[in-house]
A and B are shown apart, each in its own frame.
Chain A
């Protein structure tokens, strides 16, 4: 668009034709372009063409992109308080998780972690499960010795506690690694199974309600934002915050349904753990991992217990 006054480079790691790309990021771009009467032109850079998945946040910080979507956990230990929302039992779905993480940010409990950029909105995906190629997972012991892709160091703690060998990698790399046998399975929500085509490779799926979730952030470069005139700043402000966190959640919850339906259609084996993370076989391990994570942060002088308590409170009140 030649008449645009500002070009906004929007970078993310999802495939261009994926649900989050089409149903959320493009929608945001359209909204911003429309409300600015075409004065802001949004250029999309999907599929990590401008920055690899773990580098998306720094890409915005360093002005390589103006807006990006990143997974906080892909850069280990960088956003430790935000990742509390990923702990077992905190959220049961994208709607709840997104509400919690956005509220924590709005309440200033985790905003210190984002001083280098200006966050637009935060959200989470739905409940993460375990998906394996050869072995059905019914009890934690079934995981012993299996190499499982996990998204973040927090989830690594959980899987390690359960006896698996967690291997860290961003979601876009999971397909190749599973197919080559580098890993025996993945920790992903149904949305990820669908978006990154893992249903093609994994026949066994285990739903452990509340096992974990993953936080995302869409953020804008500070100096880009500050350069905008007041009316355009308003356009950006109008397209951020809780309203968009909820829109994101709808997209991710819908994709969870699609991913699960796809696995059923393919005739896969789906194991549902009764009571999820509260199941007596799973709970002790998950509880221990949660406790370890929180106490570690607390020892570093971070208000981990406070944030955790608030997250749990939100899940039972405003974000129920």
Chain B
């Protein structure tokens, strides 16, 4: 169990790092877009390094940034209202947390299942992105994987909360 949890943790951590890479990509692509556009207008069109689809690259970088950080963050980046439950026992709070994270796991399964269908459909319909004409099926496949990992990560974390002694201390 512990080994499996560690492996999953390792995978989601790598995804998290990839999310960081996509975040920086968003920034760099925008800079490049701004710079080449500026160069174009300064040189009156003589130096044209502008690329097509800058906005689209940013859009999908955002998508990947968020999708890839979900599994690692599901147990860490949540907002809760602790106004009414501050005085509950620590153990009770832990059980609550486990149940909720398990629900996230179910949601992840639903999302992943739904994306799985989209992968097939997009492959059949040949639908592509608007500017760069990249087949959407790749994006759905990545989303399918990311949300699957979200489910796996949530379920393992919930089980650890419920059964692991280490998590209780």
User: What residues make up the interface of A, taking CB atoms closer than 8 Å to B?
Assistant: 74-78, 80, 144-145, 153, 156, 160, 165-169, 182
Contact = CB atoms under 8 A, between A and B. Distances in A.
B121 to A, nearest CB: 9
A80 B37 CA distance: 32
Nearest to B56: A168
Nearest to A160: B52
Contact of A76 (B37, B41, B45, B128): B128
B50 interface: yes
B92 interface: no
Nearest to B55: A167
A160 B45 CA distance: 15
B127 A75 contact: yes
Contacts of A165: 50, 52
18 contacts: A75-B125, A77-B125, A77-B128, A77-B133, A78-B127, A80-B126, A144-B45, A145-B41, A145-B50, A153-B128, A153-B130, A156-B130, A156-B131, A160-B52, A166-B131, A168-B130, A168-B131, A169-B130
B133 A153 contact: yes
A77 B131 contact: no
Given A145-B41, A182-B55, A76 B130 contact: yes
B99 to A, nearest CB: 29
Given A77-B125, A145-B50, A153-B130, 9 more contacts: A77-B126, A77-B133, A78-B127, A145-B48, A153-B128, A167-B55, A168-B56, A168-B130, A169-B130
Report the contact-size class of chain B (Cβ under 8 Å from the partner): 10 to 19
Interface of B: 37, 40-41, 45, 48, 50, 52, 55-56, 125-131, 133
Contacts of A182: 55
Contacts of B133: 76-77, 153
A145 B45 contact: yes
B127 A77 contact: yes
Contacts of A153: 128, 130, 133
Nearest to B51: A165
Nearest to B125: A78
Contacts of A74: 130
A73 to B, nearest CB: 9
Nearest to A79: B125
B56 A76 contact: no
Nearest to A141: B45
Contacts of B37: 145
Pick the 9 closest A-B CB pairs, nearest first: A168-B130, A77-B128, A78-B127, A76-B128, A77-B126, A168-B131, A78-B125, A76-B130, A145-B40
